[in-house]
């Protein structure tokens, strides 16, 4: 059985690091669209991502709320009890690879700095 998933999105929460378990988790926001009754529907959805070891350390050190990432891993399920005492099903991704991306504002400033480097004429 194959269980692989790749999702692009933004960190919707700050990264939570559990040093005892050497585990990090973050809520990932991603956009999805579909057609319903002939109309295009676009919405944001959320999925918990967790990772372990060095990947967890890097995620907690270099990424924060709002930062874009691409996650590769496998889907896992489980149950939990909500605040009202009802049992809920949960779905999350156990990440094996996380690609870090720059925010658009960061990319714009990086590209601007790079383009300005060649503007001066050497003497």
Q: pLDDT tens, 33-85? A: 999 999 999 999 999 999 999 999 999 999 999 999 999 999 998 787 888 99
The domain limits of the chain are 5-117
In CATH, 5-117 is 2.40.50.140: yes
Write down the pLDDT at residue 120: 45
Query: Using an 8 Å Cβ cutoff, are 47 and 27 in contact?
Result: yes
Q: What is the pTM of this model?
A: 0.74
Query: Using an 8 Å Cβ cutoff, are 52 and 29 in contact?
Result: no
Q: What are the φ/ψ torsions at residue 25 (nearest 5 degrees)?
A: -140, 150
**Percent of the chain predicted with pLDDT > 90:** 64
- Out of 4-8, 22-26, 97-101, 111-115, which region has the weakest mean confidence (pLDDT)? 111-115
pLDDT range class, residue 122, cuts 50, 70, 90: very low
């Amino acid at each position: 059985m194959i269980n692989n998933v790749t999702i692009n999105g933004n960190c919707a929460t700050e990264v939570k690091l559990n040093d005892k378990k050497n585990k990090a988790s973050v809520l990932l926001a991603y956009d999805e669209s579909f057609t319903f009754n002939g109309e295009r529907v676009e919405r944001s959805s959320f999925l918990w991502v967790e990772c372990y070891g060095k990947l967890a350390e890097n995620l907690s050190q270099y990424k924060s709320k709002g930062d874009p990432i691409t996650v590769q891993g496998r889907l896992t399920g489980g149950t939990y009890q909500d605040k009202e005492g009802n049992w809920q099903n949960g779905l999350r991704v156990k990440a094996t690879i996380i690609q870090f991306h720059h925010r658009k504002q960061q990319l714009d400033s990086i590209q601007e700095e790079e383009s300005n480097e060649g503007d001066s004429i050497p003497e």
